[in-house]
């Protein structure tokens, strides 16, 4: 998502290197061949993540031409995202545990953390949060353990009515155990696609 930073923004800088400097093919020590800067918001304020990219110096190495990026970048944010995971999770928690509206969250981010983002950016990160949550909770053993003492299930499917051409996330939630079970991006709420989500939910219930 493109984000326009105000002129004069002061960034906190984080430098990242490839964790293992040995070339994964020939084990020679890789050189830093380039830098890739990634500005983003974290709860600590505007942050510039500077990724030092590695490349094997050996011309005959099979990894020739391949550039290696620091793995740690993904623990800070999604690639090219304008928000760090800390902001995404903060918002998701505020939205779904405390039921804050999008405009409320925008103001709270602005007043408490000096983070200025649009309602659209907030909505976008909600989708990311729900996807992450669903992925984490799709661990069958963990889910089975959580439902050991629950005899009946109440499933809901929430999703905003998709506008034409826009993908929407449908989230299946179970109300007795209060877990998000799965999330599916749908191109329309038409019966065919909706049924796919119901089939998945039924499989989970049986399991």
DSSP-assigned letters across all residues of 117-142: --HHHHHHHHHHHHHHHHHHH--HHH
DSSP-assigned letters across all residues of 164-197: TT--EEEEEEETTTTEEEEEEEES---HHHHHHH
Report the distance separating Cα 152 and Cα 150, nearest Å. 6
Q: Which is nearer to Zn ion, 26 or 78 (CB)?
A: 26
Q: Which is nearer to Zn ion, 70 or 92 (CB)?
A: 70
Q: Which is nearer to Zn ion, 63 or 189 (CB)?
A: 63
Does residue 159 contact residue 189 with C-beta atoms inside 8 Å? yes
Q: Nearest distance from residue 177's CB to Zn ion, in Å? A: 50
Q: Under the criterion CB under 5 A, does residue 25 sit at the interface with Zn ion?
A: yes
CA distances from 106 to 19, 99, 100, 114, 160 (A): 36, 13, 10, 10, 20
Report the distance separating Cα 77 and Cα 194, nearest Å. 31
Residue span binding Zn ion (CB under 5 A) among the ranges 31-39, 61-69, 98-106, 132-140: 61-69
String of contacts with Zn ion for each residue 120-159, x by CB under 5 A: ----------------------------------------
Q: Under the criterion CB under 5 A, does residue 61 sit at the interface with Zn ion?
A: yes
Q: Which helix (H) or strand (E) holds 13?
A: strand 12-16
SS3 label, residue 30: coil
Residue span binding Zn ion (CB under 5 A) among the ranges 55-63, 87-95, 114-122, 158-166: 55-63
CA distances from 2 to 57, 78, 106 (A): 34, 13, 18
Q: Nearest distance from residue 61's CB to Zn ion, in Å? A: 3
Handedness of CA 73, 78, 79, 82 (dihedral sign): negative
Q: Under the criterion CB under 5 A, does residue 74 sit at the interface with Zn ion?
A: no
Q: Which is nearer to Zn ion, 62 or 120 (CB)?
A: 62
Choosing from 16, 40, 53, 56, the residue that interacts with Zn ion (CB under 5 A) is 56
Choosing from 3, 5, 17, 26, the residue that interacts with Zn ion (CB under 5 A) is 26
**Number of amino acids touching Zn ion (CB under 5 A):** 7
Q: Nearest distance from residue 60's CB to Zn ion, in Å? A: 9
Judged by the rule CB under 5 A, the positions of this chain that interact with Zn ion are: 23, 25-26, 56, 58, 61, 63
């Amino acid at each position: 998502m493109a984000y326009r930073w105000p002129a004069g923004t002061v960034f906190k800088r984080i430098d990242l290197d490839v964790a293992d400097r040995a070339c994964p093919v020939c084990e020679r020590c890789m050189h830093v061949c380039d830098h890739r800067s990634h500005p983003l918001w974290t709860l600590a304020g505007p942050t510039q993540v500077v990724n030092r990219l590695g490349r094997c110096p050996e011309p005959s190495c099979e990894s020739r031409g391949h550039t290696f990026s620091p793995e740690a970048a993904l623990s800070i944010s999604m690639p090219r995202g304008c928000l760090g995971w800390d902001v995404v999770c903060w918002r998701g928690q505020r939205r779904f545990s405390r039921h804050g509206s999008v405009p409320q969250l925008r103001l709270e981010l602005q007043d408490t953390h000096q983070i200025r983002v649009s309602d659209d950016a907030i909505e976008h990160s909600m989708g990311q949060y729900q996807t992450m949550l669903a992925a984490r909770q799709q661990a069958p053993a963990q889910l089975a353990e959580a439902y050991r003492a629950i005899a009946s299930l109440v499933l809901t499917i929430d999703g905003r009515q998709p506008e034409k051409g826009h993908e929407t996330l449908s989230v299946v939630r179970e109300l007795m155990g209060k877990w998000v079970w799965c999330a599916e991006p749908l191109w329309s709420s038409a019966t065919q696609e909706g049924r796919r989500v119901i089939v998945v939910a039924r499989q989970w219930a049986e399991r």
